[in-house]
Amino acid sequence: MIGFPPCKINLGLRVVRKRDDGYHDIETCFYPLPFTDVLEVVPADVFRFHQSGLSLPGSADDNLCVKAYRLLKQRYHLPHVAIYLHKLVPPGAGLGGGSSDAAWMLRLLHRMFDLPADYRELVSLAGQLGSDCTFFMHDRAMLGFGRGEILEPAEVSLKGYYLILAKPNVHVSTAEAYGMISPGPPAVPLRQILQNKPETWRSVLVNDFENPVIRRYPVISQLKGALYRHGALYASMTGSGSAVYGIFRTRPDTDNDLGNYVIWEGEL
């Protein structure tokens, strides 16, 4: 069985407060993109994990796909499988690629073996693997609260817009990014901002990670500026970085100064 785990961008990301458990409460909108990894699961005599494409840090045991399989195996009698993961979504970019792989691993195993787990159980298991994993159990834009695991549908659509996703040769760790910000409540609720069109977002839709991360990695600001010069209606860093995206009415010509950085583009 094969699946195509998508990545996401964040439309706004406010870090509201630091919690007693060491995590942070956030307010964001997760928006899925049709830029995907490739994940295949097949029956096997012994458990195997194969990874190709972009390289990933850590061992196979660290991979969230493997952790998802083992988590589900604790509850249900799963046979051995071979997992083939082809990475196209870069790590350390704020795109949630690893979280998506984990969520889709749960989804594929559920269908493949016709497991009795209901949807709520799968969502709960996804939350144990990582905060962003819960979002990838859905196939639409969602507002995220708490650590990002508290979700509700977001009434926002970028259908018909053109999006360019660019990434510098920079890896930003989430822990590093959280260490650079000062939490605080947003002046305007994200839900209210997203009721308006992207043309109005530039001065009001904020990613709290962007300014501190840019101070350490100025190339991110340079890419964002290039997107605006080419006519972006709105541009932002996604997640804790380092990828940035620009939303356009139509496809611009960006070959001169963005060509080497663009990792995906297309009409939504």
| Residue range 80-122, pLDDT digits in tens | 999 999 999 999 899 999 999 999 999 999 999 999 999 999 9
Q: Which pLDDT does position 174 carry in this prediction?
A: 81
- The pTM of the full predicted model, rounded to 2 decimals, is 0.95
Cα radius of gyration (the chain): 19
pLDDT at 216: 94
**CB distance 38 to 101 below 8 Å:** no
Model pLDDT, residue 179: 85
CA distances from 21 to 25, 147, 165, 205, 267 (A): 11, 11, 34, 28, 40
- For the sheet with 38-43, list strands across it: 2-3, 38-43, 81-87, 48-53
Strand runs (DSSP E) across the chain, as ranges? 2-3, 6-18, 24-36, 38-43, 48-53, 81-87, 142-145, 150-153, 162-166, 234-237, 244-248, 262-267
Q: Helix (H, G, I), strand (E, B), or coil: what is residue 165?
A: strand
Residue 54 has what pLDDT? 96
Q: Is 45 a catalytic residue?
A: no
User: How many other CB atoms are found less than 10 A from the CB of residue 249?
Assistant: 13
Query: What does the pLDDT read at residue 208?
Result: 96
pLDDT value of residue 258: 86
Q: What domains appear along the chain, each with residue ranges and CATH number?
A: 2-153 (3.30.230.10), 162-267 (3.30.70.890)
Q: By the 8 A CB rule, do 49 and 32 touch?
A: no
What local confidence, expressed as pLDDT, does residue 44 receive? 98
At 178 the pLDDT is: 87
Task: Kindly name the residue from 87, 132, 208, 224 that is annotated as catalytic.
Answer: 132
Per the annotation, the verdict on 62 as an active-site residue is: no
Rounded average pLDDT per 10-residue block, the chain, 268 residues: 98 94 92 98 97 93 97 95 98 95 98 95 95 95 95 97 96 84 90 97 96 95 96 97 96 82 96
